[in-house]
Amino acid sequence: MTTSPSSLHISSELEKDADSGITAGDKSAFRDVLSKDHARRGKAPLHLVDMTDEERKEHAKELGMPAFRVKQLAQHYFAHFDTNVSEFSDFPSSLAQTAKDAFFPDLITPVLEQEADKGETIKTLWKLFDDSRIESVLMKYPQRVTLCISSQVGCGMDCPFCATGRLGLTRNMSAGEILEQVRIAALQCESGRLPGGPTRLSNIVFMGMGEALGNYKAMMKAIRQISALPPEGFGISARNITLSTVGVVPGIRKLITEHIPVRLAVSLHAPSDELRDELVPMNRRFNTTQVLDAAHDYYLSSKRRVSIEYALMRGINDQAEHAQLLAKRLNHYGDDWVHVNPIPLNPIEGSRWTASKPEDEAQFIDILRKAGISATLRDTRGSDIDGACGQLAAKELAQDLVRRS
């Protein structure tokens, strides 16, 4: 990193950005959901994708590079997923190292890879610049290839059944760190890393570590650059991006104003406040009525059906009465605005909750469908490799903590 006045200006702007997520920032009402560590940690090195076009050009100028070089770099990055500047045939070799250092720092490095489902699921544990760990999961399906990405190191939402929730939040990820997961997966797809040969990364889900609406600015920057066409972005349609949230209502409402047609998924997990207060602690801030109202408003403005995530936990939230109440609460808003995605709980070590019985899962879905609500049991890709997102990194971190204590 250079420390000339204008690059300092860029970093302080970005610092402001990174800290102004819905749940972040000193003045935020949700400051308390961040761990104390968060503020002390440094920021990830700046990457091309963290900068606006103006900032990129300004930065290039300081480095003695004409502005049009920035567009070339963006073209290689977004159209070819390539950051090896020294190999760009249209780029002067004398500027290659400077450009690489200034715009394409290596933000994420693989630490561990695990495969499941005959190689159709690849889970990667990544190391970040400050030695933090996050993970992503690439999944090939007959009609699509989906990447599940992380948006925060750890998570501050504290859901007791979730491995990441147990870690607490370390820090927000930068747009660069979020987008590098996408670029590398897109490159893997293109280079034939998945069975069946070269393919295209088609879908992105924010269902890895973290609460993306708690890192709003970086998340939005990432979404815009996932969906824009090259050289502004990867050209993965916003309609193929799913944003999963615990139900941070101001974040959902802000998202409505962006008018970008991502699919919204809400982690409901319980049909009543009494039960959800326990399973999803954020419910004490934003209760089921507020969350469903916001989700329905999102549907009205985006015309996109909202997904309701519901982890089925044996004897806790998976009985007929729960399905009936859920159906009633969803039908309150009218027909066909929502799709329920129950998933059998992937139990984490030492948890008092376990997965539902298959017959209870079947009954749950049956009750919803009979009430006119579309519902499908979500597949449990890679559960043999701690596949529910967040669990691999969580396990590694937990082991690390034990080793250090």
- Report the catalytic residues: 135, 389
Question: Residue 245 interacts with ligand SAH (CB under 6 A)?
Answer: yes
Using the rule CB under 6 A, which residue among 17, 211, 360, 386 binds ligand SAH? 211
- C-beta closer to ligand SAH: residue 104 or 161: 161
* Residues 122-147 as b or e (16 or more Cβ within 10 Å = b): bbbbbebbeebbbbbbbbbeeeebbb
Q: Is position 207 an interface residue for ligand SAH (rule: CB under 6 A)?
A: yes
Nearest to 74 by CA among 61, 57, 86: 57
Annotated binding-site ranges for S-adenosyl-L-methionine: 210-211, 244, 267-269, 346
Q: Closest distance between ligand SAH and the C-beta of residue 273, in Å?
A: 17
Among 132, 188, 225, 346, binds ligand SAH (CB under 6 A): 346
Of 327 and 343, the one with the shorter C-beta distance to ligand SAH is 343
Q: In the set 244, 283, 288, 307, which binds ligand SAH (CB under 6 A)?
A: 244
Which residues in the 290-309 window bind ligand SAH by CB under 6 A? 309
State how far the Cα of 288 lies from the Cα of 328, in Å rounded to an integer: 13
Using rule CB under 6 A, residue 157 touches ligand SAH: yes
- Rule CB under 6 A: is residue 162 a binding residue for ligand SAH? yes
Establish if 161 lies at the interface with ligand SAH (CB under 6 A): yes
Name the segment binding ligand SAH (CB under 6 A); options: 126-134, 255-263, 298-306, 386-394: 386-394
Taking CB under 6 A as the binding criterion, the range among 11-19, 62-70, 154-162, 361-369 that sits at the site for ligand SAH is 154-162
The answer to whether 246 contacts ligand SAH (rule: CB under 6 A) is yes
Piece of 45-53, 79-87, 156-164, 223-231 that binds ligand SAH (CB under 6 A): 156-164
The least distance separating ligand SAH from the CB of residue 234, rounded to whole angstroms, comes to 21
Total chain residues near ligand SAH (CB under 6 A) = 19
By beta-carbon proximity to ligand SAH, the closer residue of 71 and 253 is 253
- Residue 288: name the closest of 274, 300, 299, 305 by CA: 274
User: Interface residues with ligand SAH (CB under 6 A)?
Assistant: 157, 159, 161-162, 207, 211, 244-246, 267, 309, 311, 343, 345-346, 348, 388-390
